Structures are given as structure tokens and as C-alpha cells.
């Protein structure tokens, strides 16, 4: 193996040699620099492979043939190999990215870059404090030089402030080193570690000076204004080097010096890190400059890493895994994002819609965003999982709350930025130039996020058993995204069908029910995809990703596997939702509520794991600590996906603005993920008590009943047909929550059967109304009307759907209402039951409005040539209608199997079946007989009408008179706008957006707070120095309890 000293020798030698190159040899200088950095990377990676594959011992290196203090003392261990690899790789690809700029600067630019990378390598490997100081200075001077190579006022000012700040920091560091040498007579770090507990206050102060200087190098809040100015002003390629290189090396210095600090200082360090993580992300909320925003994110991420180091006492041996997983994610993502920023060259994040002009960069931008926040399959996901679980096992809940709040704040501005890139108008934005040397580093780092994610999952004890095949298939569709829709649609359906065929024999209990909803439902809704033309890029990878997540929920054996699948499902559904034309704000709302719910679930799973021997899902059945809190956290997390009242504000826009075939996917299928979570939770943990006497499930029953009423009320007052159906889903999910909360056989029979029928009738209605919108180009019902003759097949679909939804005989919705009645009577929840049945009456109102406003009344002039919905949108509708009619005529084909699944958990109080005749304690019901009777009545009345009206004169549209005036256009004779104005006057106050207003107030408060904190960064270098000195004094007082 090549000796590590050759890293230093190569970089130093090339740096000196470059000084001899003239201006005409800039290309040769650049090539030599790239070769040198490539060779340094090779040495580091060779050592890393040796440590990992062959478990070789760490090696000390002494220069000039002497031992310390007469030589430089270096160490190449596993950690040093990893960090020097990261630094050298960043240097190598950073040089490739900066090729044109450095070539323009000349050999001086390459020399400066060599000096920076050289300094960072030495501060990682050195075991000598003074040597650490020297090379920190070298790297700082080189960094400042790289900053000011861009000759403009901002970069020069930023470079000057950087030198001022690092000068003060270096002075403090040197002061600490001098006093440490005075007390110990050595400069060797290993010697200090042996005597770090020296009982002399002066030595403790000296150690404090050393450690606080390294902390300041990491740019803690609020002593980091100088760092933010650098990130904003420096060339993006240089900013990437600082974020990925300098911050990484400084973190490792803190990592290896951490044992010098006392346990009290470790907690102070954790506090500094957490304040930085939350503070930086809070201030990032109002930031619009992309590079400064990335600066806030960089400082925040490093703050999180500092928090992890400070909490190492609690994290134990998992500290390294957690820190490295998050660090490498940050390293790859932040470098990639800064590099993309350098290509886009826009000063406002709203101008990043131009990124859609380059599909590859747009994909990589999204990859880096999700890597940074910590979604699977990226390494940070597993790091954050272990972090929260280990903190919970040590009862450190304060830190969990802070970390999750900071993560959520970061998600707000990063997903808002992603939304701008994906959806804002870019028609007038000029294209940008993309050179291969700039794209190559970004593509390599983007690919590395997946490779490292796979590697991290392979060494995680529980991540190894997750089934990655569905996700891999979904990602594989990215490679064939250039194919036409009909090919990809066919492949997607075949993939889903094959996997369901493979999975079906393993499904049992509720997994079989929800597996059918997720997979058969997915296949049916995908059929509508044949109606689309062209390539429909970006749809199929994310549709299959959502279904892969849903499948993963069914397959999950561990809480980690469940949470992994939940997050995969969230990513896929986010990209499906944001595809809608006006869906950008709604997709952001969906993502933030999903993140909030996921973090509550993460906290719940973490607490549930305390004292357990494994992470099996069965551990939820015997939670050892805080079971009530575990139940509440998980329940609220699941309720965010079912959009219960208070957590529902993301749903109407997300479902209404989605594409025609996406609306049924997210409304009829995706929402059942939350239901499945609640089913799993209720069966595992049963009821929990608050304060020893208040039942949580009883409260959830009230929430379900109120959600049903309010969801249906809000639906009744909508003008947008798809928003009406979206609010309808809120109401139906309220029924399901109420049914589950009854915790009885009939309650669960109603809830689970409604889950199945809701999938069918909501898919039917969204597809039918989507087909109408496809043709008439509007979602506003008052702009429709009279479409029954132009779109009769769609009319029939809507008719069947609203009969089921309203709970009218003879279809299956009526059986659900009858079972609900029996369940409520048996449980004696009369008030809640009254609300449920009242909500049913409201459902009749909005279903009548839907069919009347759209299909009945007068046909608009512009719709006289409207065609029926596309054939492939009708096909899944009539497949669903066939199944609905079957379940309605033969109800025991659905209810009896579900009853058998429920019986082991609720053995008493079920229905007794004799053929299609069902008997309960409070009555009996025969679905087949009712079906025959209603059909007979319908046919009889229809025949009578045909016979008696065969000679009736057909009244044409304008052959009518109102108040002695002949209407001159259809709009004057079709009443559809503000349809229930009279009801709005009476109860409209109930549906005023008070909850939406509250959430908007929370968001505005957070943004206002962030804006206030940002004002401390006034750009004045003197102010920044005051911040640094004040920070040192305050942390000293906290650490030592006074002077």
C-alpha cells in the first residue's frame, strides 16, 4: 500500500511545481492538479479498503526519521482513511468542476487549492496540536484566497470577514495550545488524552480554549454571520469545497479532540449544536438566495452533527454510525446542491424553475434534497433512525423533540425550493449552459448517495431484512422513462400483478384486505393511464414508488421496515400530487404534514423500543415505558395520512388538483395506509388511558364522528367537483375512525368494509368526474350541467357511486349504514352515533348536488359537442361497478370473510349468516332480497314511465318561460352556484376555515421569528467579531459556572 505521507508529499510537491508554470501552461497545471488529487484520493481509498476488507491495524507516520516533538506525527486509521478520502474526493471533483475558472485564474488558483486540500488532510491525520494549528492556518489562508479570486465587492468583503473571524479563532486556539503545553510539557494529542483529567483549573481553561476554537470553526449559532456571508458571496464551486471539505475536516478535529472535554462540556456542546440546528433552519425559512439558503442548511446540518458528538455519552458505540451516516449524506448532498447552484446561476430560488430545462440536473436536485432531509434509501435515514432510538432508550426526550423540530424546519424551505423548481413557470427563462466537467461531479455524487445508502443499510442489523425489490423496480422505471405511455403502463401493471401473485399466498388477516386495496386497487387505477399520450415522463417511477411503499407496510416485520415503507410511500405520493397544474402549494402542505406525522411515528416507535430485545412489530404489544404516549404519537402520525379534522387541510387541494388518474390513487388507496396503521396499532396496544381514567380510543371515537360531520359539511359547500369529492373522503375516513374506535366486532366490520367500498366508490367517482373535467376543461360545477346525454356512461358511474356513498339501498353502502346502527346500539355511544347518522344525511345533500349540477339541468353552449370520457378512463369505472354490484347483491362475499378475520380479535357480537341473510342482536338484513326488491321497483316504475310518456312532447332547452321572460342562455335556467346558500346562512360558521387559519398563523409566526433572528447578521465584520467574543464568554460561563 502507498504510504499516507505521499498524500502530503504529492500535494506539496505539485503545489511548489505549479509555481514554475507560466501563464501559457494553465491547462497543463490543471491536468497536473487533477492527477495529484486523484492520486491522493487513490491512497486514501486504498487505506480505507484495507481497513474495511482486511481489518489492518492503524499506522503512525513520523516525518524526517524522527519521533515527536522533532517531527510531524501523523496517524492513518480507519477514521482518518475515511475522512481523507472524503476530502480528497471533494478536492478532485471540485477541481474538475472549477476547471474553467481555475484555468482563467492561472497556476496561482491551483496552488491555492492544493494548499487548502493539503491543510485539510494534515489536520485530519495529525496527532500534534501545534501542527493542527499550523495547518488550520494554512487551510484558512488558502480558503480565503479561493474566496477572493472572484473579483467583486461581495467576495472581497466576505473574504476579509472570513480572515478576521478565523484570525480571532486561531488566536484563541494558539492560546489554549500554549497553556496546555505549559501544564503538560507535550503537544501530542495522545498524551493529552492520557492526562485530560488533570485536576488543575488552568488546564481545564486551556482545553476549553482549544475546544471552543474548533467549535467556532464549525460556525455555531449565532457566531456564524461571517460564514453565511462566505457561502452567499463565494463562487458556488468554492462554497461546495467549504461546505463539503472544510466543515467535514473541522468536524473530524472535534471528533478526535472530544475526549479532552468533560461530560459537562459535552452537554454544553450538544446544546450549542441543537441551538445551531434549530436556529439556522428557522432563519432559513425566509431566505430566498439559494447559496445563502444552502449556507443556513450547511450550518444547521453541522450543528446536528455537533449535537450527536455532544450526546455520545448516550449514543455509545452507535455514535460513529449515526454521525458518519448523516455526515456523508450532508457531504454528498451539499456539494451537489452548491454545484448545481453554480450552473443555474440564479439569485432567487423562485427562478429555479429554469432547472426543468435540464432533466438530469432536476432529478439530481431532488435526490440531494431528499438525501439531506433524511428520506430512504439514503444513509441519513438510517442515521436519524438510530439517533432517535438511542436517545429514547436513555430517556433523552428533550433532544428528540429538538432534533425533530429542526428537521421539520429544514424540510419547509427545502421542499418549498423543490416545489418552485418543479412547478413555477419557466417559459421566459433563458436556458443555461451545461458543460460536461460541471455535470460529471454532480452525477457521481448523486449516484454515490444510492451506493452509500445501500452500503449503510447492508451493515445495519435491521435494515438488512427490508425487502428492497419493489423500490428497485420503481427506480428501474427511471431508466425506461423515455418509452411511450402504453409500454410503461403495461409493464407497470404486469409488475404489480406479478408481485401480487407472488405475495398473495403470504398474506393473511388484515394484510390480505389492505394488500388487495393497495395492489389490486393500484392495478385498476393504472388502467386509466392508457388514456394518456406521449411519454408522460416522471409518472411511473413515482407511482410504483408509492405502491412499493404501500406493499412494504404489509410486508414489514420490524418497526424500521414499517417506517421505511411509510417514507417511501410518502416520497412517491408527493411527486404524484405535485404533477397537477396548480398543485405546488398543496403538495408542499402534504409533504410538511407527512413529515410531521412521520416524525411523531418515529418518536413513538423509538419509545416503544425501549427495553426491547428487537424491533419486531410485535413489540408494540408489550410497550414497557410510556405506552400512552407511544399510542398517541403513533395514532396522530397515522391520522395525518387519514386527514382527520385538524390534520386535514392538506387533503382537499392535494386531491382536487391532482391528475385524473392520480386523484383516485391518493384518495381511494393512499389514505388507507393510515387506516392500516391504526388497525395495526389498535390490535397491538388496545386502549390506553390518559391520567388513569380517560380513554384515548373514546376520544378518537369523538374525533371520528366530528370529522365525519365536518368533512361532509365542507363537501356540501364546495363549487369545485373534485374538492367536493376530496372533502367527502375526509368524512368517510371519519366513519372509519369511528368504527375502529368502537372496538367491537360490528364496529370493525363496518370500518374495514367501508375501507374496501370507499376504495371502490371513490375511485369510481374520481375517475368519472376526472373524465368529465378532461372533456369540459373545468372543475367548477356551476360551469357544467346537462351532460347526461353527452356523457351517459360517466353519468351512470357517478349515479352508482353516489348511491353507495349516500348509503342508499340496494348497494353496499346501505349495508355499512345498517352495521353501523347495530354497532352503535351495542356500544351505547348514542351521541356519537347521532352525529354519524346526521353526517349521512349531509352526504345525501352533496351527492345530490354533484349529480344535479354536473349532469342534470341545462347544457351549456360550449358543451354541445362534448364527447364521452376517454375509453380507458371508463374501463376501470365499469370494472369497479361490476364488483360493487356483486358485493351489493351477494353481501356475504365481502362481509363474511372480513368477519372471519375480525373474529379472533373480537369473538363476540358478530353477524350470523344463513346464505345472504344476516342476523344481529338488533335485527336482520338480507342484501340479496333488498337488491331484488329495489331493482323490481325501479324496473316497474321505468316501464310505467316509458308506456305513459311515449306520446309526451319533448320540451327543448329554450321552450320555457320564467316570469314571462324567455331565457336567452343556459346559465339563466340552471341553478348550481352557491347551491346551498340557505344552509350556509344557518350553519356556514361551522365550515369557516378556522383550522386552516390556525395553521397559517403558526407558519407565519415561525417565518416572522426566523426573520427577526436573521437581523443580527447585518454584514458588519466588527459585529461578527463581537458575536464571536460574546459567544466565547457566554459558553465559558455556562461551562465553568462563572469566572
Q: In the prediction, which pLDDT does 348 show?
A: 92
* Residue 118 CB burial class (10 angstroms; 0-12, 13-18, ≥19): buried
* Residue 675 CB burial class (10 angstroms; 0-12, 13-18, ≥19): buried
β partners of residue 76: 59
Distances in Å between the Cα of 5 and the Cα atoms of 10, 40, 55, 543 are: 9, 10, 21, 51
Q: Quote the cell numbers at residue 440.
A: 460529471
* Cα gap 913→361, rounded to integer Å: 60
Mean predicted confidence (pLDDT) in 571-586: 94
Q: For 505-510, which contacts have Cβ atoms below 8 Å and span 24 or more sequence positions? A: 507/554, 509/901, 510/676, 510/679, 510/680, 510/683, 510/752, 510/901
Q: In the prediction, which pLDDT does 353 show?
A: 92
* Cα gap 510→897, rounded to integer Å: 11
Q: Are 264 and 207 in contact (CB under 8 A)?
A: no
- pLDDT, tens only, 601-614: 999 999 999 999 88
β partners of residue 914: 917
Alpha helices in 126-219 (DSSP H): 129-148, 153-184, 189-195, 201-217
User: Is residue 81 pLDDT above 90, yes or no?
Assistant: yes
Numbers of helices and strands, H then E, in the chain: 43, 7
Q: In the prediction, which pLDDT does 20 show?
A: 75
User: Is residue 958 pLDDT above 70, yes or no?
Assistant: no
Q: In the prediction, which pLDDT does 760 show?
A: 96
Look-up of cell digits 327543448: 956
Nearest to 379 by CA among 440, 427, 322, 461: 322
Q: In the prediction, which pLDDT does 465 show?
A: 83
Q: Quote the cell numbers at residue 598.
A: 412521520
- pLDDT, tens only, 340-378: 999 998 989 999 999 998 999 999 999 999 999 999 999
Nearest to 970 by CA among 868, 853, 869, 848: 853
Given pLDDT bands bounded at 50, 70 and 90, which one contains residue 89? very high
Q: What are the residues whose beta carbons fall under 8 Å from the beta carbon of 208, sequence distance 6 or more?
A: 176, 265, 1036, 1039, 1040
Given pLDDT bands bounded at 50, 70 and 90, which one contains residue 945? confident
* Cα gap 592→702, rounded to integer Å: 26
Which carries the bigger pLDDT value, residue 123 or residue 969? Answer: 123
Which carries the bigger pLDDT value, residue 1015 or residue 754? Answer: 754
Mean predicted confidence (pLDDT) in 756-785: 95
Q: Quote the cell numbers at residue 52.
A: 474495511
Q: In the prediction, which pLDDT does 965 show?
A: 64
Q: Quote the cell numbers at residue 153.
A: 465587492
Q: For 829-836, which contacts have Cβ atoms below 8 Å and span 24 or more sequence positions? A: 829/701, 829/742, 832/701, 832/702, 832/704, 832/705, 832/738, 833/705, 835/705, 835/706, 835/708, 835/709, 836/705, 836/708, 836/735, 836/738
Q: Residue 1017 CB: number of other CB atoms within 10 A?
A: 19
φ, ψ for residue 24, nearest 5 deg: -80, -5
- pLDDT, tens only, 512-538: 999 999 999 999 999 999 999 999 999
Q: In the prediction, which pLDDT does 1 show?
A: 81
β partners of residue 126: 74
Measured at the alpha carbon of residue 639, what is the angle toward residues 634 and 641, in degrees to the nearest 5? Answer: 110
Positive or negative torsion for Cα 778, 781, 782, 786? positive
- Average pLDDT score over the chain: 91
Which carries the bigger pLDDT value, residue 1025 or residue 430? Answer: 1025
Which carries the bigger pLDDT value, residue 347 or residue 490? Answer: 490
* Residue 777 CB burial class (10 angstroms; 0-12, 13-18, ≥19): exposed
Give the range among 153-157, 556-560, 820-824 with minimum mean pLDDT. 153-157
User: Is residue 947 pLDDT above 80, yes or no?
Assistant: yes
3-state SS assignment for residue 794: helix
Positive or negative torsion for Cα 205, 207, 211, 214? positive
Given pLDDT bands bounded at 50, 70 and 90, which one contains residue 692? confident
* Cα gap 277→269, rounded to integer Å: 12
pTM over 0.85: yes
User: Is residue 427 pLDDT above 80, yes or no?
Assistant: no
Q: In the prediction, which pLDDT does 691 show?
A: 84
What's the alpha-carbon Rg for the chain, to the nearest Å? 33
* Cα gap 328→447, rounded to integer Å: 13
* Cα gap 283→931, rounded to integer Å: 62
Q: In the prediction, which pLDDT does 24 show?
A: 66
* Residue 612 CB burial class (10 angstroms; 0-12, 13-18, ≥19): middle
Q: In the prediction, which pLDDT does 378 show?
A: 95
Q: Are 337 and 368 in contact (CB under 8 A)?
A: yes
- pLDDT, tens only, 373-420: 999 999 999 999 999 999 999 999 999 999 999 999 999 999 999 999
Q: In the prediction, which pLDDT does 622 show?
A: 92
CA dihedral 869, 873, 878, 879 (to 10 degrees): 170
Q: Are 277 and 307 in contact (CB under 8 A)?
A: yes
Percent helix / strand / coil, the chain, rounded to 5: 75, 5, 20
Q: Are 718 and 696 in contact (CB under 8 A)?
A: no
* SS3 labels along 486-547: HHHHHHHHHHHHHHHHHHHHHCCHHHHHHHHHHHHHHHHHHHHHHHCCCCCCCHHHHHHHHH
Q: In the prediction, which pLDDT does 986 show?
A: 84
Nearest to 895 by CA among 789, 768, 756, 689: 756
* Cα gap 878→976, rounded to integer Å: 28
- pLDDT, tens only, 19-47: 777 666 778 888 999 999 999 999 999 99
Q: In the prediction, which pLDDT does 485 show?
A: 95
Nearest to 342 by CA among 442, 448, 447: 442
* Residue 879 CB burial class (10 angstroms; 0-12, 13-18, ≥19): middle
**Beta pairing, strands 917-920 & 912-914:** antiparallel
Question: DSSP character for 558?
Answer: B
Q: Are 532 and 484 in contact (CB under 8 A)?
A: no
Q: In the prediction, which pLDDT does 398 show?
A: 95
Q: In the prediction, which pLDDT does 197 show?
A: 57
Q: Quote the cell numbers at residue 219.
A: 460556525
- pLDDT, tens only, 893-922: 999 999 999 999 999 989 999 989 999 988
Mean predicted confidence (pLDDT) in 179-207: 80
Q: Are 415 and 591 in contact (CB under 8 A)?
A: yes
* Cα gap 486→477, rounded to integer Å: 13
Amino acid at each position: 500500500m502507498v504510504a499516507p505521507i505521499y498524500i502530503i508529499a504529492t500535494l506539496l510537491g505539485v503545489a511548489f511545481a505549479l509555481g514554475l508554470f507560466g501563464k501559457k501552461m494553465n491547462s497543463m497545471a490543471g491536468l497536473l492538479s487533477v492527477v495529484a488529487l486523484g492520486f491522493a484520493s487513490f491512497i486514501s481509498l486504498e487505506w480505507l479498503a484495507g481497513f474495511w476488507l482486511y481489518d489492518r491495524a492503524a499506522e503512525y507516520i513520523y516525518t524526517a526519521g524522527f519521533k515527536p516533538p522533532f517531527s510531524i506525527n501523523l496517524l492513518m486509521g480507519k477514521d482518518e482513511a475515511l475522512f481523507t478520502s472524503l476530502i480528497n474526493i471533494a478536492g478532485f471533483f471540485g477541481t474538475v468542476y472549477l476547471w474553467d475558472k481555475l484555468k482563467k485564474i492561472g497556476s496561482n488558483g491551483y496552488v491555492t487549492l492544493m494548499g487548502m486540500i493539503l491543510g485539510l488532510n494534515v489536520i485530519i491525520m495529525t496527532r500534534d496540536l501545534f501542527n493542527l494549528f499550523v495547518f488550520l492556518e494554512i487551510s484558512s489562508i488558502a480558503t480565503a484566497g479561493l474566496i477572493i479570486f472572484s473579483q467583486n465587492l461581495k467576495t472581497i468583503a466576505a473574504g476579509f470577514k472570513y480572515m478576521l473571524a478565523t484570525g480571532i479563532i486561531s488566536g484563541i486556539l494558539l492560546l489554549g495550545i500554549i497553556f496546555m503545553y505549559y501544564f503538560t510539557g507535550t503537544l501530542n494529542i495522545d498524551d493529552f488524552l492520557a492526562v485530560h483529567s488533570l485536576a488543575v483549573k488552568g488546564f481545564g481553561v486551556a482545553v476549553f480554549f482549544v475546544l471552543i476554537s474548533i467549535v467556532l470553526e464549525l460556525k455555531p449559532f449565532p457566531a456564524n454571520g461571517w460564514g453565511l456571508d462566505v457561502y452567499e458571496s463565494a463562487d458556488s464551486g468554492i462554497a461546495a469545497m467549504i461546505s463539503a471539505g472544510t466543515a467535514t475536516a473541522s468536524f473530524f478535529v472535534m471528533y478526535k479532540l472530544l475526549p479532552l472535554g468533560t461530560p459537562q462540556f459535552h452537554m454544553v456542546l450538544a446544546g450549542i449544536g441543537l441551538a445551531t440546528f434549530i436556529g439556522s433552519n428557522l432563519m432559513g425559512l425566509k431566505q430566498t438566495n439559494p447559496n445563502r439558503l444552502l449556507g443556513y442548511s450547511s450550518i444547521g446540518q453541522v450543528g446536528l452533527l455537533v449535537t450527536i458528538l455532544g450526546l455520545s455519552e448516550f449514543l455509545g458505540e452507535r455514535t460513529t454510525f449515526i454521525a458518519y451516516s448523516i455526515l456523508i449524506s450532508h457531504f454528498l448532498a451539499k456539494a451537489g446542491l452548491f454545484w448545481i447552484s453554480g450552473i443555474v446561476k440564479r439569485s432567487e430560488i423562485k427562478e429555479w424553475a429554469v432547472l426543468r430545462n435540464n432533466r438530469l440536473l432536476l432529478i439530481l436536485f431532488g435526490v440531494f434534497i431528499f438525501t439531506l432531509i433524511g428520506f430512504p434509501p439514503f444513509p441519513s435515514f438510517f442515521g436519524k433512525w438510530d439517533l432517535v432510538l438511542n436517545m429514547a432508550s436513555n430517556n433523552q426526550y428533550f433532544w428528540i423533540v429538538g432534533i425533530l423540530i429542526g428537521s421539520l424546519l429544514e424540510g419547509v424551505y427545502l421542499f418549498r425550493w423543490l416545489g418552485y423548481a418543479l412547478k413555477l413557470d419557466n417559459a421566459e427563462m433563458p436556458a443555461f449552459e451545461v458543460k460536461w466537467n460541471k455535470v460529471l461531479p454532480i452525477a457521481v455524487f448523486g449516484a454515490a448517495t444510492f451506493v452509500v445508502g445501500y452500503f449503510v443499510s447492508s451493515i445495519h442489523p435491521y435494515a438488512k431484512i427490508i425487502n428492497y425489490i419493489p423500490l428497485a423496480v420503481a427506480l428501474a422505471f427511471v431508466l425506461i422513462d423515455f418509452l411511450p405511455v402504453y409500454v410503461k403502463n403495461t409493464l407497470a401493471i404486469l409488475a404489480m400483478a406479478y408481485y401480487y401473485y407472488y405475495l398473495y399466498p403470504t398474506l393473511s388477516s388484515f394484510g390480505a384486505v389492505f394488500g388487495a386495496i393497495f395492489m389490486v386497487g393500484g392495478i385498476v387505477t393504472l388502467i386509466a393511464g392508457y388514456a394518456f399520450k406521449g411519454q408522460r415522463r416522471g409518472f411511473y417511477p413515482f407511482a410504483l414508488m408509492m405502491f412499493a411503499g404501500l406493499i412494504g407496510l404489509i410486508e414489514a416485520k420490524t418497526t424500521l421496515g414499517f417506517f421505511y415503507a411509510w417514507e417511501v410511500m410518502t416520497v412517491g405520493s408527493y411527486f404524484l400530487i405535485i404533477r397537477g397544474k396548480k398543485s405546488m402549494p398543496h403538495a408542499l402542505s402534504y409533504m410538511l404534514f407527512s413529515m410531521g406525522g412521520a416524525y411523531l411515528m418515529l418518536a413513538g416507535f423509538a419509545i416503544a423500543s425501549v427495553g426491547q430485545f428487537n424491533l419486531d412489530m410485535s413489540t408494540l404489544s408489550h410497550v414497557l415505558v410510556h405506552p400512552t404516549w407511544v399510542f398517541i404519537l403513533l395514532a396522530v402520525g397515522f391520522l395525518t395520512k387519514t386527514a382527520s379534522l385538524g390534520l386535514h387541510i392538506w387533503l382537499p387541494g392535494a386531491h382536487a388538483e391532482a391528475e385524473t388518474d392520480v386523484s383516485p390513487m391518493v384518495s381511494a388507496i393512499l389514505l388507507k395506509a393510515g387506516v392500516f396503521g391504526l388497525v395495526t396499532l389498535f390490535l397491538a396496544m388496545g386502549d390506553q388511558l390518559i391520567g388513569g381514567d380517560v380513554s384515548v380510543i373514546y376520544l378518537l371515537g369523538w374525533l371520528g364522528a366530528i370529522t365525519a360531520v365536518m368533512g361532509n359539511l365542507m363537501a356540501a359547500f364546495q363549487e369545485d367537483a373534485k374538492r367536493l369529492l376530496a372533502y367527502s373522503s375526509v368524512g368517510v375516513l371519519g366513519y372509519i375512525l369511528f368504527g375502529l374506535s368502537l372496538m367491537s366486532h360490528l364496529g370493525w366490520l363496518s370500518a374495514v368494509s367501508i375501507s374496501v367500498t370507499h376504495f371502490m366508490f371513490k375511485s369510481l367517482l374520481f375517475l368519472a368526474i376526472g373524465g368529465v373535467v378532461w372533456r369540459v376543461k373545468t372543475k367548477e360545477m356551476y360551469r357544467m350541467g346537462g351532460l347526461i346525454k353527452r356523457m351517459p356512461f360517466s353519468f351512470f358511474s357517478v349515479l352508482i357511486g353516489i348511491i353507495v356513498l349516500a348509503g342508499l339501498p340496494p348497494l353496499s353502502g346501505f349495508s355499512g349504514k345498517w352495521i353501523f346502527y347495530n354497532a352503535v346500539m351495542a356500544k351505547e355511544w348514542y351521541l356519537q352515533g347521532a352525529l354519524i347518522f346526521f353526517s349521512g344525511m349531509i352526504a345525501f345533500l352533496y351527492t345530490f348536488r354533484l349529480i344535479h349540477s354536473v349532469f342534470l339541468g341545462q347544457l351549456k353552449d360550449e358543451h354541445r359537442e362534448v364527447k364521452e370520457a376517454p375509453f380507458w378512463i371508463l374501463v376501470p369505472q365499469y370494472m369497479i361497478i361490476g364488483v360493487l354490484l356483486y358485493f351489493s347483491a351477494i353481501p356475504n362475499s365481502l362481509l363474511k370473510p372480513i368477519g372471519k378475520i375480525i373474529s379472533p380479535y373480537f369473538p363476540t357480537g358478530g353477524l350470523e349468516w344463513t346464505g345472504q341473510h344476516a342476523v344481529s342482536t338488533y335485527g336482520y338484513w338480507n342484501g340479496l332480497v333488498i337488491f331484488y326488491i329495489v331493482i323490481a321497483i325501479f324496473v316497474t316504475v321505468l316501464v310505467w314511465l316509458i308506456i305513459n310518456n311515449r306520446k309526451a312532447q319533448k320540451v327543448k332547452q329554450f321552450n320555457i318561460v320564467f316570469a314571462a321572460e324567455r331565457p336567452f342562455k343556459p346559465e339563466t335556467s340552471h341553478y348550481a352556484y352557491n347551491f346551498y346558500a340557505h344552509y350556509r346562512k344557518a350553519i356556514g360558521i361551522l365550515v369557516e376555515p378556522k383550522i386552516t387559519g390556525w395553521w397559517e398563523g403558526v407558519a407565519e409566526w415561525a417565518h416572522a421569528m426566523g426573520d427577526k433572528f436573521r437581523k443580527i447578521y447585518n454584514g458588519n465584520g466588527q459585529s461578527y467579531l463581537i458575536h464571536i467574543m460574546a459567544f466565547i464568554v457566554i459558553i465559558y460561563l455556562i461551562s465553568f459556572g462563572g469566572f
